[in-house]
A = this chain, B = another copy of it.
Amino acid sequence: MKKLNICILGASGYTGAELIRLLHGHPQVSISHVTASRHAGRTLGEVFPHLGHITDLELSGPDPSLIPDDIDVVFAALPHGASAEIIEKIYQRDVRIIDLGADFRLAEGTYRDWYGDHRCAHLLENAVYGIPELHTERIARTKLVANPGCYPTSSILPLAPLLENGMVEPLGITIDSKSGASGAGRNPSLDLHFCEVSEGIKAYKVGEHRHTPEIEQGLSDFLGSKVEIVFTPHLIPINRGMLSTIYVNLSGDHKTRDLLDALGQFYKNSPFVKILPEGTFPNTSWVRGSNFCYIGARTDPQKRRAIIICAIDNLVKGASGQAIQNMNIMLDFPENLGLDSIALYP
């Protein structure tokens, strides 16, 4: 079978490089067009020396008219705002588009509140917010998927089943997340300078991170009623890995076993979401470089509260891996095609 042609917009960042790494092992596709505004004209091997021996692709500029007609799938790994403009111009082609940015994740009003005016609002209704485990059917039928953010992925996957079955109260949810530095991208800045990150930890954008409305919308849409959270992201000195520690109020005196059984049942056919046994809680090292998501939980029936902990690799299940999982669903490939490698441990 002829391989499908892939285009990656924004191939010089970490999510772009991760798409290349993962797609390199995918048997049904071939990367044939890559762009990177600041590096246009250079080869991928010049930007990433370790890619020099697998490809001699040259990075193109951002102009959408340069994207060849035979492209089957476009991944947009661009800064927020940049993808909407390009996607608008290629949307009419016979192409599937997966946007790893935030442009098509939020309803228009929410988008405006947090990001400003939307450049391409008329396409919002066509876009499917794509957590593969929750929105399989809609993903399979759309041509434009809004790939979820990393914090939302690690928050919605553990919470959605427990909100749906009523074990967890929709209000009073606290999400305390810790992320590796790759989540902040590859643009140099003082905040991400090695010595500023190493041997330290801090919270950032306290009370104002743009993933807050995405989590609330994602959960509210899934539940069909309002879900309210408090969310605090932290930066920790690791390259990859995200741990979300979630504190919830229980609707009854549910035991740890009850929560784990409910989660296990919900994800029993999922190739990537794994529920841990009672007493075991995930380490991000167990998902490094892989598309897996581990969830552990413990309830305190007396206080009617529970702690639910979720670990993902922010660049894989939190970005590029999930994007490929969405592509697989859109193209009717097995969901885990090219994605079944296990964690790089240690």
Top 5 closest A-B pairs, CB basis? Answer: A50-B286, A200-B285, A195-B346, A202-B283, A176-B176
CA of A67 to CA of B31, assembled, Å: 44
* A220-255 contact mask (Cβ, 8 Å, vs B): 1 or 0: 000000001010101011111101010100000000
| Given A201-B241, A202-B243, A243-B203, A196 and B286 contact (CB-CB distance below 8 Å) | no
Measured CB to CB, the closest approach of chain B to A255, in angstroms, equals: 12
Given the interface pairs A50-B292, A237-B238, the reply to whether A285 lies near B341 with Cβ below 8 Å is: no
Q: Does A289 contact B (CB under 8 A)?
A: yes
Interface range on chain A (Cβ under 8 Å from partner): 35 or more
Shortest Cβ distance from A196 into B: residue = B346
Q: How far is the CA of A151 from the CA of B149 in the complex (A)?
A: 31
A237–B193 Cα distance when bound, in Å, is: 12
Determine the distance from Cα of A261 to Cα of B60 in the docked complex, in whole angstroms.
Answer: 30
How far does the alpha carbon of A234 sit from the alpha carbon of B192 in the complex, in Å?
21
> Which residues of chain A (192-210) have a CB below 8 Å from chain B?
192-204, 206-207
Contact A346:B14 (CB < 8 A) given known A190-B186, A298-B206: yes
Interface string of A130-153 (1 = CB under 8 A from B): 000000000000000000000000
CB distance from A176 to the nearest CB of B (A): 4
Number of this chain's copies in the assembly equals: 4
* CB nearest to A283 among chain B residues: B202
Q: Apart from A194-B194, A202-B285, what 10 extra A-B contacts exist at CB < 8 Å?
A: A25-B341, A48-B345, A50-B342, A186-B190, A199-B285, A200-B283, A206-B281, A207-B298, A230-B305, A289-B289
Which residues of B are found within 8 Å of A343, using beta-carbon distances? 21, 50
Closest CB of chain B to A269's CB: distance in Å?
Answer: 13
Is A346 a contact of B178 with CB atoms below 8 Å? no
Chain B residues with CB under 8 A of A195: 14, 180-182, 186, 192, 239, 346
Asked if residues A189 and B188 are in contact (CB atoms below 8 Å), the reply is: yes
